[in-house]
Amino acid sequence: MFDVALADNGILRFIGRLDAAQAAKAQAALDAAADPGVIDFALLEYISSAGLGVLLRTQKRLMASGRKLKLVNVNNHIHDIFRYSGFDQIFEIERAAGAPGP
Amino acid sequence: MKGERKPKDLTTDELRWILEVTRRLAAPLDLDTMLREVVDVARGVCDADFGMVWLHDAARGELSMQVVPGLEPTRIAADHGIVGECLRLRKAINLPDCHADPRFDREVDLASGYRTRSMLTLPMVGPDDTLVGALQIVNPRDGVFDANDEVVAHLLADQCAVALQRVRMTEQMIRAGKLGQEIAVAREIQLATLPQSAPRVPGYDVAGIFRPADETGGDTYDFVALPGGRYAILMGDATGHGIGPALLATHVRAMLRVALRLEADIDETVRHMNNQLVDDLPDDRFVTAFLGLLDANAHSVRYHAAGQGPLLHFRAATGTCELYPPTSFPLGSLHMPSARAAAVLELAPGDILALASDGIYEYQDVSQREFGADAVAALVSAHHQRPMAELVEVMLRALADFGAGIAQADDLSMVLIRRLPDAALDSAVAASDAGPGMQQRFARSLDSLDAVFDFVGRYFAAEGLDPGLRYAVDLTVEELFANMVRHNAEGKSDIRLALAREGEALLGTIEDFDSPPFDFGAPRATSIGKPLADRRPGGLGLHLIRRMMDSVEYRHADRVTTITFRKGSGRT
């Protein structure tokens, strides 16, 4: 299952597994947020290309007004996906604590 | 009209006859018997030479002549001749001298050599005023038909009209309802006798299908495990469609089962089954059948192909199919005085014996071209390495594509027997020591993804695979599955996912059984270094799985897309 939560500090939290069946839900949450800014991946277990697509579209929208997404607490597996896809060059990524450096 | 003339002196005998025929007509008779009854009574009462009944076919505007022994059934236009005039007027026509009347058709006499002198023609009108036909009696012994004859014949014609309508209605009801039910029962019996699944034969991959046509056909097949690693295989096809062939096919299978229980030799079995069918069946009925005995230890098949053919033998060594003709005539066509020796076929590793019924070879497309044995052979050769159950699916799909919407005319049955190649045997043994692979079908929808991941999780747990690999496998499976859903939304089949071990590697296969070719060629990896504005979300999935898997292979043939992926050492 996949969920999006909004923390008190205004940070969006992605929770669970963001697969192709859940991409629309993630997209709707990001579209609804005027300025997502930071997304916390601490509880995100899985993301596939469909989720990357959602993030990419959002990034393009924000960049049009000079803003950017920052992804924090990204686990190793998910970081691999960003690396393999070259998306690590598109997003500012902060890896989860305890994860080895790049 | 009835009662226009009073009978002057209807004798007791005449009355008794009429009452008798009335009573008999009330009993449930078939059409022919009933008509004979009426004509016999009419002839008897009027002491005439012969009589006949014309039935009115309103739909075709014709009259058909019935009940004249020695004369071919004849059809004429409904307004033709005396009988046509009689029906038009709905009145009896009594001609003392036919040849003096211009309406009389002399051709009938000329053709038959019979001399019609005097003729009485009466309309048969049903109680609801519909024209049923006409009763005609010819040449009374005393010269002409008198008023008395007319009255008696009228009574008979009226009775006959009522009875005829009843018989026609009954026949219609039987055709529409009861017969339909009986055919359904026959089919149920036929299907119930077929094996529910192919037998497990060590060292072999066996698959069979039976797909009946809309109406019950006469195909049957059977596998029976015998002592000593031997298996009896039957595939039969009784001529025709409907209840008869369905029951006959069931009958043939039952005879075989009894013979096997008695441990009869296959050669003697064929002879006795044949001779029994010669005794049981009418001349135009017979059964084509393949009856074989597979020895899974000696890798040979002894068989009789009674009018059944061609048999296909795929030889793995050459990669081609040989076609063998039937070994003898169809069962039930000719008495067999002594047993014939079975033909023998050797199966080398990777060889396939394919049996297909006429319904497959003769499957027709819109221009009535037949699918043909060569097409079957080509498919077997092209897909010989796949599981036989899949080859069956490929075959059915190819037939459906070939027919392009034309309804299946005949039963389709097929039996495929593949001797596993030694390598497959080895890996099958190796796999069995770690548990068999798993496979599952999923509905073509992204909503299936949860079930897909659950399936992968169960396989990992069952095999004790490294959880560190789970992400890569999940992602690969999702990307491939989602691609199949998106790019082939019109596909009719489920999508099948299989996971197995290949040595130390994990082997995954995902298949779409109803799909156009998919451009799996160049990955869009080139966009990875591009500026953001040029980058698109699509195409990433395939790039990712190529990075994460050791190998990814794509195949497409006969509307089946197969993608295979491997990931090294799945062991912890």
How many C-beta atoms surround the C-beta of residue B391 within 10 A?
A: 23
Taking CB atoms within 8 Å and a gap of at least 24, the contacts of B35-42 are B35/B66, B35/B67, B35/B160, B35/B164, B36/B67, B38/B135, B38/B156, B38/B159, B38/B160, B38/B163, B39/B67, B39/B135, B39/B137, B41/B17, B41/B156, B42/B135, B42/B137, B42/B152, B42/B153, B42/B156
Nearest-CB residue to A19 (from B449, B538, B544): B449
Specify whether the CB–CB gap between B336 and B274 falls below 8 A.
yes
For residues B518 and B561, give the distance between their C-alpha atoms in angstroms, rounded to a whole number.
8
For residues B182 and B187, give the distance between their C-alpha atoms in angstroms, rounded to a whole number.
9
Lowest mean pLDDT, pick from B84-88, B131-135, B537-541: B537-541
Residues of A in contact with B446 (CB under 8 A): 20-21
Among residues of chain B, what percentage have pLDDT more than 70?
Answer: 82
Contacts of B55 (CB under 8 A, 6+ apart): B63, B64, B66, B132, B133, B164
Mean pLDDT computed over B278-293 = 84
State the best of A48, A57, A69, A81 to mutate against chain B, taking most chain B CBs within 10 Å: A48
User: In the 8-state DSSP scheme, what is residue B532?
Assistant: G
Give CA B345 to chain center in angstroms. Answer: 29
Specify whether the CB–CB gap between B133 and B55 falls below 8 A.
yes
Residue B403: per-residue pLDDT: 83
Mean pLDDT computed over B217-221 = 77
Residue B182: per-residue pLDDT: 66
For residues B120 and B513, give the distance between their C-alpha atoms in angstroms, rounded to a whole number.
72
How many C-beta atoms surround the C-beta of residue B547 within 10 A?
A: 15
B505 to chain A, minimum CA–CA distance in Å?
20
Q: pLDDT grade, residue B115 (50/70/90)? A: confident
The residue ranking higher by pLDDT, B300 or B161, is B300
3-state SS, residue B181: helix
What pairs with residue B555 in β-bridges?
Answer: B562
Residues of B in contact with A50 (CB under 8 A): 482, 537, 541
Residue B179: per-residue pLDDT: 60
Asked if A63 lies within 8 A of B450 by C-beta distance, the reply is: no
Mean pLDDT computed over B10-30 = 66
What pairs with residue B53 in β-bridges?
Answer: B66, B135
Q: What is the pTM of this model?
A: 0.43
Backbone angles phi, psi at A46, to 5 degrees: -155, 140
Q: Is the pLDDT of residue B565 over 80?
A: yes
Specify whether the CB–CB gap between B560 and B383 falls below 8 A.
no
pLDDT (tens digit per residue) in B474-483? 999 999 999 9
B451 touches chain A (CB under 8 A): no
- CATH architecture type of domain B190-421: 4-Layer Sandwich (3.60)
Cα dihedral across residues B381, B382, B384, B389: positive or negative:
negative
* Helical residues (DSSP H) of chain A, grouped into ranges: 23-32, 49-63, 76-85
How many C-beta atoms surround the C-beta of residue B131 within 10 A?
A: 18
The residue ranking higher by pLDDT, B254 or B534, is B254
Residues of B in contact with A82 (CB under 8 A): none
Protein fold of B426-568: Heat Shock Protein 90 (3.30.565)
Specify whether the CB–CB gap between B310 and B325 falls below 8 A.
yes
Q: What is the ipTM score, two decimals?
A: 0.89
The segments of chain A whose pLDDT lies below 50 read 101-102
pLDDT (tens digit per residue) in B455-467? 999 898 888 888 8
Residue B270: per-residue pLDDT: 92
How big is chain A by its Cα radius of gyration, in Å? 12
Cα pseudo-dihedral B424, B426, B428, B431, rounded to 10 = -130
Give CA A2 to chain center in angstroms. Answer: 13
Lowest mean pLDDT, pick from B18-32, B161-175, B308-322, B341-355: B18-32
User: From residue A16, how far is each of A90, A92, A95 by CA, in Å?
Assistant: 23, 21, 17
3-state SS, residue B238: strand
Backbone angles phi, psi at B59, to 5 degrees: -60, -40
User: In the 8-state DSSP scheme, what is residue A96?
Assistant: P
Specify whether the CB–CB gap between B71 and B112 falls below 8 A.
yes
The first and second tokens of residue B44, run together, are: 């008897």
For residues B94 and B135, give the distance between their C-alpha atoms in angstroms, rounded to a whole number.
12
Pairing, β B230-238 against β B219-226:
antiparallel
Residue B525: per-residue pLDDT: 41
Question: B7-177 and B426-568 share one CATH topology?
Answer: no
User: In the 8-state DSSP scheme, what is residue B220?
Assistant: E
Give B165: exposed, middle or buried? Use CB within 10 Å, 0-12, 13-18, 19+.
middle
Please calculate the CA angle B245-B250-B255 and round it to the nearest 5 degrees: 120
3-state SS, residue B340: coil
Specify whether the CB–CB gap between B181 and B273 falls below 8 A.
no
Specify whether the CB–CB gap between B455 and B470 falls below 8 A.
no
Specify whether the CB–CB gap between B66 and B34 falls below 8 A.
no
Mean pLDDT computed over B531-555 = 75
Mean pLDDT computed over B240-260 = 77
pLDDT (tens digit per residue) in B53-75? 888 888 888 888 876 666 666 78
Most confident by average pLDDT, A90-99, B159-168, B347-356 = B347-356
B476 to chain A, minimum CA–CA distance in Å?
9
Protein fold of B7-177: Beta-Lactamase (3.30.450)
Asked if B537 lies within 8 A of A63 by C-beta distance, the reply is: no
The first and second tokens of residue B345, run together, are: 């076929």
pLDDT (tens digit per residue) in B186-196? 667 667 777 76
For residues B291 and A20, give the distance between their C-alpha atoms in angstroms, rounded to a whole number.
52
Domain ranges of chain B: 7-177, 190-421, 426-568
Residues of B in contact with A54 (CB under 8 A): 537
Specify whether the CB–CB gap between B512 and B561 falls below 8 A.
yes
Q: Is the pLDDT of residue B144 over 70?
A: yes
For residues B58 and B120, give the distance between their C-alpha atoms in angstroms, rounded to a whole number.
23
Residue B160: per-residue pLDDT: 79
Report which of B512, B516, B522 is spatially closest to residue B482, judged by C-alpha positions: B512
Residue A52: per-residue pLDDT: 93
pLDDT (tens digit per residue) in B292-348? 999 999 999 999 999 888 999 999 999 999 999 889 888 988 888 888 899 999 999
Q: Is the pLDDT of residue B431 over 60?
A: no
Q: pLDDT grade, residue B240 (50/70/90)? A: low
Asked if B449 lies within 8 A of A21 by C-beta distance, the reply is: yes
For residues B572 and B60, give the distance between their C-alpha atoms in angstroms, rounded to a whole number.
82
Residues of A in contact with B528 (CB under 8 A): 85-86
Residue B10: per-residue pLDDT: 59
How many C-beta atoms surround the C-beta of residue B219 within 10 A?
A: 27
Q: Is the pLDDT of residue B3 over 70?
A: no
Report which of B401, B420, B396, B412 is spatially closest to residue B358, judged by C-alpha positions: B412
For residues B212 and B223, give the distance between their C-alpha atoms in angstroms, rounded to a whole number.
18
Residue B374: per-residue pLDDT: 92
Asked if A17 lies within 8 A of B453 by C-beta distance, the reply is: yes
pLDDT (tens digit per residue) in B382-430? 999 888 988 998 998 898 888 887 777 778 889 999 998 875 544 443 3
For residues B223 and B294, give the distance between their C-alpha atoms in angstroms, rounded to a whole number.
10
Specify whether the CB–CB gap between B465 and B571 falls below 8 A.
yes
Q: Which residues of A touch B (CB under 8 A)?
A: 17, 19-21, 46, 48-50, 52-54, 56-57, 59-60, 63, 77, 80-81, 84-86, 90
The residue ranking higher by pLDDT, B363 or B110, is B363
Residue B435: per-residue pLDDT: 42
Mean pLDDT of chain B: 81
Please calculate the CA angle B353-B354-B359 and round it to the nearest 5 degrees: 160
